[in-house]
Amino acid sequence: MLKSYLPALVFLALGAGTGAAFTALNSVLGPRRPSKVKSDPYECGLPSEVTSSFRFGISFYLIAMLFILFDIEVIFLYPVAVGLKQFGTFALVETIVFIVLLFVAFVFVWRRGALEWR
Amino acid sequence: MLLEQILFFVAAAGAIGGALGVVLLRNPFFSVLALVGHLISLALLFLLLRAEFIAAAQLVVYAGAVMVLYVFVVAYVGGIEEAVGGEGAIGRLGPLFAGALLIELCIAIVGSALPAIDSRGAHVPAGFGSPGAIGKVLLERFLVPFEAASFLLLVAAVGAVVLARRRRGLEDAPDDELPERAGRAPLGDPSGRERADGGDEGPPAGTAEGPGDPTPERDAERPDPVRDPEPQPAGGTA
Amino acid sequence: MTALPLASVSFVESTGVQIVKAIVIFAFVLVVVPLILLLERKLLGRFQARLGPNRVGPFGLLQPLADVLKLLSKERFTPRTAVPWMMAMAPAISIFTAVVTLAIIPFGDVRHNALFGASYGLYGIDVSIGILWAFAFGALAFYGLMLGGWASGSKYSFLGAMRSAAQLISYEVSLGLSLVGVVITAGSLSLTEIVNSQDHIWYVVPQFVGFCIFMVAAFAETNRPPFDLPEADAEIVAGYNTEFGGMRFGSFFMAEYINMVAIAGIATAMFLGGWHGPGPGWLDPIWVIVKMLLFVVLFIWIRATLPRLRYDQLMAFGWKVLLPLATLNALVTAIVVSA
pLDDT greater at residue B232 or residue C225: C225
The angle at the Cα of C204, spanning C201 to C205, to the nearest 5 degrees, equals 60
**What CATH code is carried by the domain that includes residue B1?**
1.20.120.1200
pLDDT tens digits, one per residue of C184-201: 988 888 888 889 888 888
Q: Say how far apart CA C216 and CA C229 lie, in whole Å.
A: 14
For the question of whether the overall pTM of this predicted structure is more than 0.95, the answer is: no
- Burial zone of C68 (CB within 10 Å; 0-12 exposed, 13-18 middle, 19+ buried): middle
Residue B123 CB neighbours (<10 A): 7
Q: Say how far apart CA C13 and CA C103 lie, in whole Å.
A: 15
pLDDT greater at residue C311 or residue B9: B9
Residue B60 CB neighbours (<10 A): 26
* Regions in chain B scoring below 70 on pLDDT: 1, 76-88, 167-238
Q: Say how far apart CA C141 and CA A5 lie, in whole Å.
A: 20
Which of C142, C229, C317 is the best substitution to test chain B (most B C-beta atoms within 10 A)?
C142
pLDDT tens digits, one per residue of C123-175: 888 888 889 999 999 888 888 888 888 877 777 777 788 888 888 888 999 99
State residue B177's pLDDT score: 43
- Expressed in angstroms, the distance from the first to the final Cα of chain C is 30
Name the residue among A96, C167, A56 with its Cα closest to residue B186: A56
pLDDT tens digits, one per residue of B121-175: 777 777 788 888 888 888 888 888 888 888 888 888 888 888 877 765 444 444 4
The verdict on a CB contact (< 8 Å) between B4 and A118 is no
Indicate the residue type of C58. P
The verdict on a CB contact (< 8 Å) between B132 and A82 is yes
Whether B221 is in a domain gets the answer: no
Its domain, for residue B50, covers 1-82
State residue B184's pLDDT score: 47
Helices (H), B25-116: 28-48, 52-57, 67-77, 88-113
State residue B231's pLDDT score: 43
State residue B181's pLDDT score: 44
Name the residue among C199, C207, C189 with its Cα closest to residue C284: C199
State residue B213's pLDDT score: 41
Q: Say how far apart CA C129 and CA C8 lie, in whole Å.
A: 10
Please give, rounded to a whole number of angstroms, the shortest distance from the CA of C12 to a CA of chain A. 6
Task: List all residues of chain A from 63 to 82 with a beta carbon under 8 Å from chain B.
Answer: 64-69, 71-73, 75-76, 78-82
- Asked if B131 and A78 touch (Cβ cutoff 8 Å), the reply is yes
The angle at the Cα of C304, spanning C30 to C182, to the nearest 5 degrees, equals 65
pLDDT greater at residue A31 or residue B192: A31
Please, which residues have CB within 8 angstroms of residue C111's CB and are 6 or more apart in sequence? C119, C120, C121, C122
Residue A20 CB neighbours (<10 A): 16
- Asked if C308 and B195 touch (Cβ cutoff 8 Å), the reply is yes
Please, which residues have CB within 8 angstroms of residue B46's CB and are 6 or more apart in sequence? B54, B55, B58
Helix (H) or strand (E) holding C110: strand C106-111
Is the pLDDT reported for residue A50 higher than 70? no
Whether A40 is in a domain gets the answer: no
Residue C304 CB neighbours (<10 A): 18
State residue B21's pLDDT score: 92
Residue B84 CB neighbours (<10 A): 7
Domain count, chain B: 2
Band of residue A48 on the pLDDT scale cut at 50, 70, 90: low
| Facing residue for C139 by CB, picked from B64, B207, B211 | B64
Please, which residues have CB within 8 angstroms of residue C241's CB and are 6 or more apart in sequence? B206, C148, C157, C160, C231, C249, C252
pLDDT tens digits, one per residue of C59-110: 888 888 888 888 888 877 777 777 788 888 888 999 999 999 999 999 888 8
Task: List all residues of chain A from 7 to 66 with a beta carbon under 8 Å from chain B.
Answer: 9, 36-38, 40, 42, 47, 49-62, 64-66
Whether A110 contacts chain B with CB within 8 A:
no
Whether A114 is in a domain gets the answer: yes
Indicate the residue type of C13. E
State residue B229's pLDDT score: 43
Whether B100 is in a domain gets the answer: no
Name the residue among C182, C186, C183, C234 with its Cα closest to residue C209: C182
Q: Is C7 left (phi over 0), alpha (psi -120 to 50) or beta?
A: beta
pLDDT tens digits, one per residue of C263-299: 999 999 999 888 888 878 778 888 899 999 999 999 9
State residue A47's pLDDT score: 61
State residue B78's pLDDT score: 61
Its domain, for residue A79, covers 56-118
The verdict on a CB contact (< 8 Å) between A108 and B68 is no
**What percentage of chain A carries pLDDT values higher than 70?**
80
Domain count, chain A: 1
Backbone angles phi, psi at B209, to 5 degrees: -60, -70
Please give, rounded to a whole number of angstroms, the shortest distance from the CA of A85 to a CA of chain C. 5
State residue C311's pLDDT score: 79
The verdict on a CB contact (< 8 Å) between B48 and A2 is yes
| Facing residue for B143 by CB, picked from A50, A64, A94 | A94
Whether B126 is in a domain gets the answer: no
- Asked if C136 and B64 touch (Cβ cutoff 8 Å), the reply is yes
Q: Say how far apart CA B189 and CA B84 lie, in whole Å.
A: 34
| Facing residue for B150 by CB, picked from A51, A56, A101 | A101
Whether A100 is in a domain gets the answer: yes
The verdict on a CB contact (< 8 Å) between C165 and B55 is no
State residue C324's pLDDT score: 92
- Asked if C52 and C41 touch (Cβ cutoff 8 Å), the reply is yes
Structure letter (DSSP) for residue C109: E
State residue B36's pLDDT score: 92
Identify the closest residue of chain A to C97 by CA–CA distance. Answer: A15
Is the pLDDT reported for residue A42 higher than 80? no
